[in-house]
Amino acid sequence: MGQAQTDQQRRQYLEAMGIQTWSLRQTQLQPQSQTADAIPAAAETVATPSPQAEPVAPVAEQRIDLPTVATDWAELEAEVSVCTRCDLSQHRHQTVFGVGSRNADWLVIGEAPGADEDAQGEPFVGPAGKLLNQMLLAIGLKREQVFIANIVKCRPADDRDPKAAEAAACEVYLKQQIALIQPKLIFALGRVAAQNLLKTDQKVGDMRGQRFEYGDSKIPLVVSYHPAYLLRMPSAKRKAWQDLLSARQIVNNE
């Protein structure tokens, strides 16, 4: 693939995120696209961390070695596939274990499978999943390079939010996945994911722009909006882009 084609694709990914892009023509910067929520700077501009953000230890020091019930991926996936720990198991078509690289630096966590995910057995495969793919590509990551999971592994009826008891029943599996992956970063998408991971009732808007740590493992955690919310509120894409840049800073230890 030529450089020109690669650059064109990258611009398309950024435009899907509502990010203004620029190219150099005869020593002048010319806008490639205009969007209502465009960032008034080059797309590669690194977001300035919030002054209230808590400092995070260097990523190199965040690798963990936690005990797990399942000793490997095959055992854990088999255990999840027959799980009946909560009532969600009674109506599912199949469990949605998670997908992606099991050696990933990024662990992306959403809330729960929807109808498309329940049918295909893979998280983020509907319209929100397509936008998530664009978000990752905008910072140079393919879907296959990250690991994507949810707070619960079965679809709640009518796509409602998971209940506290359901999230608690599934937490053991997510913890084991985190222990097996040992990611450099957890990227929490949406209120349900952020509140369950951080054990808080704060709103997403209040958690954005900060760097949290997950549990005893102290893995850096960044909160952003769920792609489904961004589809309803395109004006929030600019903030999501800032969250992506902040997360990339942490992973790259910048």
Residue 110 within a domain:
yes
Answer for the pair 107, 187: CB distance below 8 angstroms, yes or no. yes
* Structure confidence at residue 203 (pLDDT): 97
Position 13 in a domain? no
Number of domains in the chain: 1
In the block, which residue shows the tokens 């398309």?
A: 12
Least trusted range by pLDDT, from 57-61, 185-189, 249-253: 57-61
Give this prediction's pTM.
Answer: 0.77
User: What is the residue range of 217's domain?
Assistant: 73-251
Q: Residue 42 domain-assigned?
A: no
Query: Strands across the sheet with 99-100, in order?
Result: 99-100, 147-150, 106-110, 185-189, 219-224, 212-214
6 belongs to a structural domain: no
Is the residue at 141 inside a domain?
yes
| Amino acid at site 22 | W
pLDDT digits 0-9 by tens, 97-121: 999 999 999 999 999 999 999 999 9
Look at residue 31 and tell me if it is in a domain: no
In a domain, 14, yes or no: no
Residue 4 has, within 13 A of its CA and on its CB side, a CA count of 0
Q: Report pLDDT digits (tens) over 128-138.
A: 999 999 999 99
**Whole-number pLDDT of residue 1:** 55
Q: Would you place residue 49 in the very low, low, confident or very high pLDDT band (cuts 50, 70, 90)?
A: very low
210 belongs to a structural domain = yes
Question: Using 50, 70 and 90 to split pLDDT, how confident is the model at 53?
Answer: very low
* pLDDT value at 154 more than 90: yes
**Which CATH number is 198's domain given?**
3.40.470.10
